[in-house]
Chain A
Amino acid sequence: MLQKTKKMTDAGKAHGFKTDFERIFHPKRIAIVGVSADESSGGFGAGMYRAISAMGFEGEIFLVNPKGGMISGLNIFRRIEDIPEQIDFAIIAVTARLVPEALEACRKKGAAGAEILSSGFSELGTKEGRQLDLQLKEIAARGIRVVGPNCFGIYCPKSGLTMLPGPDLSRISGPVAFLAQSGGMAIDFAHAARWMGIRFSKVVSFGNGTDLRETDLLHYLKDDPETQVISMYIEGINDGDTFFREIKAAAGKKPVIVLKGGLSQAGARSVASHTSSMGGSRVIWQSVLKQAGALQVHNKDELAQASMAFALLPQRAFKSISIVGGGGAIGVTACDIAETYGIGVPPFSDDLQARIGDHLPRPGSSALNPVDVANPFVAPPILKEVLLAAAEDEQVELQIIVSLLFHYGTIARMFNKPIAEVVPFRELAEAVRDVVDRTGKPVVAVLPNAKRGLGNMEITQMIAMARQEYIDRDIPVFDELHDAIRAIANVNIYYGGRNHENRQSG
């Protein structure tokens, strides 16, 4: 019996107390330990205070520094013990050797968890560093869960917790959870996600993973109603058995997308020095992730794009699509890309071609699938009719619309107007949203930009505005056709593969 208890490594169980993730992710009262009163301080503690304030965290914040003082009119407590009543969560940014004491004090203050931003632990590879990590582990086992050390912390849009140095992350929640040891990867992903239209339930950078790590977090997120998609960047894991069990269980319930770093020889060397873990064998990782039913991606763009597609598209596979857009060559290459990913672009019936053709400018257009609308200035109401008609084809499960909006630069110059005024991007996004609502078939937008140079910054800006119109309407939008099709293909692997259904019952 004793042995059995020892073996339990699931979140909280090994600790003999129930982990209160609700109080960790949505704390009402937090302490920031290690905040300098010096306004110009570049310290992590002060930086975190500024970031959380900027995020508009609604709960109570208690600052701690042995020197006391004030910051922005807020009193700084000299000791954690001086904070009145209980706290839910603590952010610790003091020197490594002072962290264990601070953590213990936070535990006594009733905190359910703490994130430790400080570095100087096992990642140093020194005996002292490892010793400090061990101390944290012991304190954690007594009743406080630890994120970190050597991390950027938790970002939770709903509660207003943010990670370093993110004062400007979104407060709008969404279905995607992101996990990484690496703080850099986590904050970059959070920033990229914002302009890409990915909304988060929670993002956790867990650094050394001394206590909480991907296995515990997967265990929690699997049943977290706020999370529908789990994305993660992995450098190393602690225990293959636990990892496999947890990721398989999670992937049986919701998509789990994994970017595994350190599978090249050079990569493995840098993993060893970055998170002091083992990179592992490429082919074994590939096989094991597949066996667990998780989806492996190969770079961070693909990770973000797949996360967005999973978040915004219906939960199913799309084996057959239509493509509507300007340019014959775009259509041809689109078909080639789609086929590479096992997605069909079936030609429309003669009757449907005739009806779609009626809407299109002539000559130069084609109503076969892909639909070539002949020029980039076809008005949104016409594109809408084309999309509505194309959706009537029973084979079509999803539509892609490619808009070459950058060509409007010529028109803008002709009328001497700012480009954003001549491009009907809002009408376009409205039309697409309406098509989705009426047909029940998703539409994915692609906004390529061939004019990205310094001389065309107004075009880059206009494309960003057009993108935002789509994002505001929950329409997945990509820069390139290839990105869009690869993301759809990733959705297909999860929902269409044998894996998912088998794993769910198994």
Chain B
Amino acid sequence: MKTDKAAKIISSALRKKRTNLSEYEAKKVLAAYDIPVTREILIKEKMDLDKALEKISFPLVMKGCSAEVAHKTEKGLIHVDIRTVKEAKKAFTEIMAGLAGFEGGVLVQEMIKGRRELVMGLTRDPQFGPCVMFGLGGIFTEILRDVTFRRAPLEMQDARDMMQDIKGRKILDAVRGMEAADTDLLARMLINLGQIGLDFESIMEIDLNPVILAGAKPVVVDALVVMKTEN
């Protein structure tokens, strides 16, 4: 079941000789593997915006969504904390302009509130195969590089060890009035991420950053999946 849904998305992208999944597609793959992602709707026409706004409540996030465009932030393709229909319409127009004709649409996405950002990912090591990554997310991923890996398949204990491995492990505790993170759920996410790597050899890299802790619950807010195209 899991694999079927994900396989459809991946093989369709591969048929089009694409090396990336769009954020929307990537999250569908993750969701098929029970990895919690943001609720979101992809629209291509302005007239569909109202319908989307009925389902996703304010405040929300709107993003340009295209497999062909990376670095959304730098290109002004992310609008956060949208609180009114007017703001939403303006954002839609700007994002479509920013996509500059690339195939894609606008993602209307729930805004996840939480101050703690984590990163999860998958890399295909030439010697050890698919390896799952976990660490501090957001801008700290680049600055501190506080990440650890385990090769797939992960056992429950491996996933738990990863959370102990990072220097910033205390971020998962109940700190400063925030709830302790749901480490069972985090562990299952890591295990399932590894399973995706085992199931799909065409996936070279997955980058889930940030994974925001909304209270205790981790939610994948942005996702990138890079594939290898067959020659």
**Which A residues have a C-beta under 8 Å from some C-beta of B?**
237, 240-241, 243-244, 278, 280-281, 283-284, 287-288, 290-291, 498-499, 502, 506
Contact = CB atoms under 8 A, between A and B. Distances in A.
A438 B151 CA distance: 46
A241 B152 CA distance: 10
A391 to B, nearest CB: 33
A283 B155 contact: no
A244 B165 CA distance: 19
Contacts of B131: 284, 287-288
B167 to A, nearest CB: 13
A244 B149 CA distance: 14
A245 to B, nearest CB: 11
Interface stretch (B38-46, B122-130, B221-229): B122-130
A241 B147 CA distance: 22
Given A284-B149, A288-B149, A290-B165, A240 B157 contact: no
A240 B161 contact: no
Interface string B135-156: 0000000000001111100010
A244 B161 contact: no
5 contacts: A284-B131, A287-B151, A288-B128, A290-B165, A498-B164
Interface string B150-175: 11000101100100110000000000
Nearest to A279: B127
A197 B148 CA distance: 36
A138 to B, nearest CB: 26
Given A288-B149, A291-B161, A498-B161, A281 B129 contact: no
Closest 9 CB pairs of A and B: A287-B149, A240-B128, A240-B127, A502-B157, A284-B125, A291-B150, A284-B149, A287-B148, A288-B128
Nearest to B151: A288
Q: How large is the interface on B (under 10, 10 to 19, 20 to 34, 35 or more residues)?
A: 10 to 19
A240 B155 contact: no
Interface-central residue, A240, A291, A502, by most chain B CB under 10 Å: A291
Given A290-B165, A291-B161, A499-B161, A278 B149 contact: no
Contact of A283 (B129, B147, B158, B164): B147
A278 B157 contact: no
Contacts, number: 50
Contacts of B126: 278, 280
Contact of A287 (B127, B150, B155, B164): B150
Given A291-B161, A499-B161, A502-B157, A283 B148 contact: yes
Contacts of A241: 129
B141 to A, nearest CB: 13
Interface-central residue, A284, A288, A498, A499, by most chain B CB under 10 Å: A284
A243 B127 CA distance: 10
A291 B127 contact: no
Interface string B113-135: 00000000001011111010000
A280 B151 contact: no
A502 B161 CA distance: 11
A335 B1 CA distance: 57
Contacts of A278: 126-127
B162 to A, nearest CB: 8
Nearest to A281: B125
A429 B49 CA distance: 84
B94 to A, nearest CB: 39
Contacts of A284: 123, 125, 127-128, 131, 149, 151
Given A287-B165, A506-B155, 13 more contacts: A240-B125, A244-B151, A278-B126, A284-B123, A284-B125, A284-B127, A284-B151, A287-B149, A287-B151, A290-B165, A291-B158, A498-B161, A498-B164
A281 B131 CA distance: 12
B6 to A, nearest CB: 23
Contacts of A280: 125-127
Nearest to B129: A240
A145 B127 CA distance: 25
A244 B125 CA distance: 13
Contacts of B149: 283-284, 287-288
B128 A244 contact: yes
A153 to B, nearest CB: 27
A499 B131 CA distance: 19
A396 B151 CA distance: 38
Interface string B92-104: 0000000000000
A506 B155 CA distance: 9
Contacts of B151: 240, 244, 284, 287-288, 291
A343 B164 CA distance: 19
B206 to A, nearest CB: 15
B5 to A, nearest CB: 28
A155 to B, nearest CB: 29
